[in-house]
Amino acid sequence: MSVYSKSLSLFAIFLLSITAPLLTTNSQAQMVSDIEVLHTAVNPNNNKTYHLLSPGSWTESAVVARALDGFLTTIDDEDENQWVFDTFGSFDNQSRHLWIGLSDPDDEDDYRWHDGTPFHYRNWGVDQPSDSDTENFVHIAGTNMGNIMPGTWNDLTDDPQYFPVYGVVEVGDAVDYALRFDGQDDHVIIEDEIPELTNSISITALINTPDSTGIQFITMLGDYGWGLYINDGELAYSSQYSISQHPNSNRTISEDVWTEVTVEIQENIGGQFYIDGIPAGEISAEDALIPQGDFGSNDCYQSGEDCDELFFGKMGAGCDCNFYYGMIDYIVISNMEHTLTWEFLEGEGSFTDDSTEEFGGEIDGASWVMPDGTLVAQAIELFSDEEVYEISGQEGDQLLFFMEVEEYTRNLYLDVYFAYDDWDDWGEYNFDAYFAHDYIPNPWEYDDIREDNYDYMWVDYSWPDEGIMWMVIVPQTDIDDLTIYAYAEIADPPPSLDEMTELVNEIPVTSQKINPSRGAPDEDRVLHYYVNAAENLSSLTIETYGGTGNVDLAISSVTVPDPFNSFFGWEEPWFEDFDDVGVIGGFVDVDAKSDWSTGPGNDHQVALYDLSPGIYYVTAYTYGKANDFTIVASMAFEPDNIEPEDAIELMPGIPYGPISGYDGLSQYFKVNVPETVERLEIDLSDGFGEASIFVKLADSPSTTDYTHRSNSPGAGDKIGFNDPTPGTYYILVNTEMVFGDVIITASFTDRYVWQYDGTPIQLFNAEEVSGIDAPAGESMSFFAELTSPGEFLTIQTFGGSGDLTITATGNELVFGFEDLFDMLEEDDYMKGEGRQSTSSDFDSEPVTEVSYGEGTEQMITVDFPANGRFDITLTAVDDISDVTIVAVWSYAEFIDPVPEPVEIVDPVIEENCREIAESEMADNDRDGNGVLSADELRSVMINEARLDFAITDSNVDGEIEFAELLQVTCSCSNELTSTFEQLSPYDKEISIEKLSSQVYENKYNFFEIDSNSNRQISRSEIDILILLCETTFDAFDGDGDGVPDIDDAFPEDPDETKDTDGDGVGDNADLAPSVANDLIYSAGAILAIGLLAMLVLVARGSRRSEVVEDWDSDKQYNIAEQMLGMQESAVPNPATSVATSEAYDSVNNYPTNFANDIPFSDDSKLFEQLISQPQSPPEQLLGMIDVNGLETIEYPVGSG
């Protein structure tokens, strides 16, 4: 596809618009024919041909330019502008005004170049362009036009009558646009139904990709239809569902160059790949298929969609995947009957048409770019202290803005925001912004970025480089009414060198003084110096010392530092808290263009790093006086060992240095290690900043290719390992920031053996513990002790070999909005012209952090650690050897130590209701008579409430006994109230389990009031129970047996209430309630003696008996029970008094009818027999012997 045809198509619309007036009359056509070429020249900078035309209007000259196969010239930069002016502005010794291709006839200030190039470069004259609606065409001034200087631009009417203007034609094609796809989700979708391509198909595309890896679809039809794509650099054709079965080319495409790729298919016959017109692999007949995109994948089936769209930049409808990364200039799809061509001529908007305008595609995310990748967007210029407002755009648009940054610009601010009429719209809009210096940024190339800006964005740059600052805003939603405000603060240029003192390397300038009088102007409070650096420097350091008073120091690479105009009115007391502006968080900002050192005394130091030859400015200043101080400059020249072949050899044990470095500077060293060395150590010591060591045997290391490396914060790194292989070790010292005054030493030492006895090892700030060895699975304990809260705590392991994890447990500070408000309310906040309060109190909470990283390089970072101990556990995942651990922290200046946490004690019942009553009785019984009078009762407080005397005096005797006070104190409502308030002093919920575990005087069911079934009782739920509870406690029934104490013979024993026989034993426990127990015990003793005598007689009779009867065990058992009185005999009639007489067998010595007449019973039924009615009394019961010698039995017991 020729670019010329594309250019001609692009110009068609423009040609119609500008030539329509010319076609109306013959006279106008004749005027065009009168224009001729006066001169032709070739620009050596771009090798393009230019023609100078005779005078004519802008419109007439544009028509002639097209006839000459060109356009009115597009000025791309200052060099081209100067060349055009020099070549044609004074041609033939005649000053000429020159038409260029810039105009805005359709929309005021929407300037467009004749060939369609986006309007970026500009060179307007003073106060140009004008505000006139008729002056829409731009020329280069050939002579002075008032304050418009020759070579600058001015806008005119189309055909000015007061002087002639000569057109300048630039031969060439119209601008060529392309679409750029991000490889993530950008694509074009064509929903119009395209013709069905069968029998044959050809797909051609002009592409440029920076990365050809992976699968990247250029185009595909529908659901797994035909398509062309990149497969790891090769071309591939989509011939069926399975990607693995697709044919691939036998050559790969080049990256970052425009390449035409083609596939041609003859269905079921074969096909061919082409790369830049050269065959790149044949396609077999089996693979020469043309699927029509109707596979029926799951995604399409489940969605119910047709999935017949044509896609550019992604796989088809069946998968949101395999997106294309790069630019596409055109796509042509054809066969013998149809040709579909998309050349992407629009250059703007979210829609693109094919050449017939029948098959339009919606652009989803892809960006319009020039062939070199530059964004296609019309640029809007920003001016300091001016607003650009009412900016609108659609999602995905690229809105381009730029601002000229002047020399000596100290600060540049950009404020981008939406003007809302309705605050309900807040948060509706979102956009991303990209920034670059002297080139147009885009989402894939930029110097700075601000993403996800909702409603508002603020950007500021300190000492930005002179030139053009470009900004591209990409709306993530449709936006409306966006406003941009820009402001540039310009510093004064430096004074001439003869007004300043030169500082020469290492030569002190002594006896300096600043001694202004009271009320002296600012210029009397400063001394200016300069340093002329004739070659590249690693660093330039300026130092003041000695003398008296208070001098401060500053250095700048742009102009003289101005302490009295740089800080927006803040005075020295605020600024001294931020000494060393170039030092951020303890590290040096390498890119800083200035550095400041302030504070008491005259000892100060400032430095700049990575310097090019030039003049550097120094200011010594004071707010008071400074006398007899010395100032000196020190230059650190770029080292000689910045290449591996220039490595400096280190001698064992001999320090080398000092050395310094900055980001981008590599320094190489080496050391020769003989066979006898047991351990090699490489150590950086002293100095400041941040440095790292990389070591490799026999070859130079890099930051990605090394054998050993250090990873310790700061510039004090160290590497050590046992049994080094003999040979030459190369050492790289590198930094991503800056370091200085560092000493490097390589040492041979004795073998180091790690020993650990299980005792936790203390880590001190920035002090490494090295040589750690451990088998897999072993854990080691360390700890760090912080005496004050910190800004950060970092724990790192590195070096050696193996794999490990580290865990740290301690406390971190907790910040909340209330802390900020408390600080703002402090009386001394912001005193001293903005000085921060000297202390703030914060809470802390436990924190446990687990390391992240790979292998032995692990890290933990805790922000704002609290004071106290952090316990650290190092666990070997695999065997580890020669590992180093270090903890680094920085104390926070304005935060007081957090007090040691007080152990939270679970609330308990301090006083139950009885104890409360006892305490109140003792405290208020002032006369000690054991009762409370009405006056004394008024002092009694139960649950913060006074008692009613009438209610409390239940017996109405005019005084309150303890029982009466106890009855009220232990009522269910008072008991519940005191219990809940003691267990929950802040009215928080209490678990039912905890409430139920307490000892109460009353009975409660807490489950009944658990309304939300969360097994917790709230204050409101306990209040309900207080209202509904029933007091079961009776202070007048001490043992709770239902008998008042006054009537209870045993008021403290709930099991006894009577003592009928007066023997001190309750009736329930008394064997014979109506008989004194001493009589029972006497009778029992007599019976026991009788039984013993009977046993003796039985035993003797058994031995004398000639015939021994063999009793079975059951009978023996029953006779034993009989003898012990445990069997009952049947008594026909109950009687309260029974006389018994027994006859004994004289031969066998046991009572007659003992075995036969007395029925034996189970002793386990004894209790039932005793209480049964109207059964006769059991024989086992013992009676009383009356005066007549008869035994009497009271049965049932208590019957009298």
CA dist 915 and 611 (Å) reads 84
Nearest-angstrom CA–CA distance, 232 and 986: 69
Summarised one tens digit per residue, pLDDT across range 1014-1031 is: 999 999 999 999 999 999
- Does residue 657 register a pLDDT over 80? yes
Write the burial class of residue 29 (CB in 10 Å: 0-12 exposed, 13-18 middle, 19+ buried). middle
Return d(Cα 571, Cα 834) in angstroms, integer: 8
Q: Which residues contact 1166 (CB under 8 A, 6 or more apart)?
A: 1126, 1178, 1180
Q: What pLDDT was estimated at residue 82?
A: 96
CA distance 1073 to 1198: 7
Q: 512 pairs with which residues across the strands?
A: 629
Read out DSSP for 1079-1107?
Answer: HHHHHHHHHHHHHHHHHHHHHHHHHH-SS
Query: Which CA distances in Å does 267 have to 202, 221, 272, 284?
Result: 11, 16, 12, 10
- Residues 948 and 954: beta-carbon distance below 8 Å: no
Question: In the prediction, which pLDDT does 897 show?
Answer: 80
Contacts of 714 (CB under 8 A, 6+ apart): 689, 690, 691, 766, 888
What is the reported pLDDT for 1190? 59
pLDDT digits 0-9 by tens, 242-278: 999 999 999 999 999 999 999 999 999 999 999 999 9
Side chain identity at 592, as an amino acid letter? A
994 token code pair: 């905890």
Residue 33 pLDDT level (bands cut at 50, 70, 90): low
pLDDT band at 1045 (very low <50, low <70, confident <90, very high): low
- Residue 1163 clears pLDDT 60, i.e. is over it: no
Give the model's pLDDT for residue 1086.
76
Assess whether pLDDT exceeds 90 at residue 157.
Answer: yes
pLDDT grade, residue 302 (50/70/90)? confident
Is the confidence at residue 489, as pLDDT, over 70? yes
Q: Report whether pLDDT(151) > 60.
A: yes
pTM for this entry: 0.55
- Sorted by where each starts, the structural domains of the chain and their CATH numbers stand as 3-171 (3.10.100.10), 178-369 (2.60.120.200), 379-490 (2.60.120.380), 500-637 (2.60.120.380), 639-752 (2.60.120.380), 762-904 (2.60.120.380), 913-1028 (1.10.238.10), 1077-1192 (no CATH)
Each residue's pLDDT tens digit, 439-486? 889 888 899 999 988 888 999 998 999 999 999 999 988 888 899 999
> Which tokens go with 838?
């000297």
**pLDDT for res 578:** 37
Mean pLDDT of 744-754: 93
Q: What is the pLDDT of residue 120?
A: 85
CA-based max dimension of the chain:
178
Tell me the two tokens of residue 960. 């309150």
pLDDT of residue 835: 38
Which residues are CB-neighbours of 904 under 8 A, at least 6 positions away?
Answer: none
- What is the tens place of the pLDDT at every residue in 909-923? 999 999 999 999 999
Measured distance CA(684)–CA(691) in Å, rounded: 8
The string of pLDDT tens digits covering residues 803-830 is 999 999 999 998 754 554 454 444 444 3
Looking at residue 1096, what is its pLDDT? Answer: 65
Q: Which of 769, 770, 766 is nearest to 790 (CA)?
A: 766
**Structural element, H or E, at residue 22:** none
The tokens for 28 are 């106008």
Structure-model confidence comparison of residues 22 and 238, the more confident one = 238
pLDDT of residue 1082: 67
Distance CA 553, CA 597 (A): 5
Q: What per-residue confidence (pLDDT) applies to 136? A: 93
Distance CA 561, CA 554 (A): 6
C-alpha–C-alpha distance, residues 807 and 805, integer Å: 7
Residue with tokens 């002297």: 438
User: CA dist 54 to 64, 143, 164, 165, 168, Å?
Assistant: 11, 17, 9, 8, 9
What is the C-alpha to C-alpha distance for residues 458 and 929, in angstroms, rounded to an integer?
83
> 304, exposed or middle or buried, with CB in 10 Å at 0-12, 13-18, 19+?
exposed
Q: Give residue 218's pLDDT band: very low, low, confident or very high (50, 70, 90).
A: very high
